[in-house]
Amino acid sequence: MKLPFAFFSKRSIDWKTEILLPYFKNAEKVLDFGCGDLSLARSLKANLKFLDITGVDVVDFSERPKDIKFIVYDGKTLPFKDKFFDTVIVFYVFHHCEDASESFKECARVARKRILFVESVYRHPLEIPFMKIMDWAYNKVKPEAVPLSYQFLSFNEWIKVFSKSEMKIGRSKKINQVFLPSFIPIGISYIFEVSKKS
């Protein structure tokens, strides 16, 4: 299973990098929350050498680059001080957390300026079973076991999470699901840029 996954993963990482590149113009200290094997962090670093990136995950992936800082954490409290990073990036990770809103709050705590995150949001509750199936199928072929808690929220539920935190929404933009048409009932993906309230 590793070869087809590696091929698909490479194309996916290129797509993820293209989405994030326009959001970075200057040197920043960045946390890649739920970084996995650090392939996204490495791709971002290759394109934006001025970024100082640290990865954190609950899974210690056996295959990951050694030239990017990596920390395993307990899934609840990030081992960093308040406002330790300029930006926290979270790419299709919150739905894997035990509690998406609590994980968001923890990311907000360690972010000095903003959180950039991409998530699939459901448009109707009937989409949730299909989203679970797709999430299971995609992660089943990964070399390492990934937590599957299926914490999918709607767009309005995410807005409520923002309103209860110290963050405010700046930009949100629909993005195409990688390799999939938007009419398939597996939600719709957004990139959210949420910033600290002044």
Residue type, 184: I
Distance CA(59)–CA(88), nearest Å, equals 18
Instruction: Decide if 20 contacts 45 (C-beta within 8 A).
Output: no
Tell me what pLDDT residue 179 has. 58
* Domain spans in the chain, listed from the N-terminal domain onward: 2-196
Tell me what pLDDT residue 57 has. 95
Burial of 172 by CB count in 10 Å (0-12 exposed, 13-18 middle, 19+ buried)?
middle
As beta bridge partners, residue 116 has 89, 193
Residue type, 67: D
| Residue range 2-196, CATH number | 3.40.50.150
pLDDT tens by residue, 59-102? 887 777 778 999 999 999 999 999 999 999 999 999 999 999 99
Sign of the Cα torsion 174, 21, 141, 62 reads negative
176-182 contacts at long range (C-beta below 8 A, 24 or more positions apart) = 177/120, 178/11, 178/12, 178/15, 179/11
Tell me what pLDDT residue 20 has. 95
The whole-model pTM stands at: 0.88
Tell me what pLDDT residue 17 has. 92
Mean pLDDT (whole number) for 47-62: 91
Residue type, 144: E
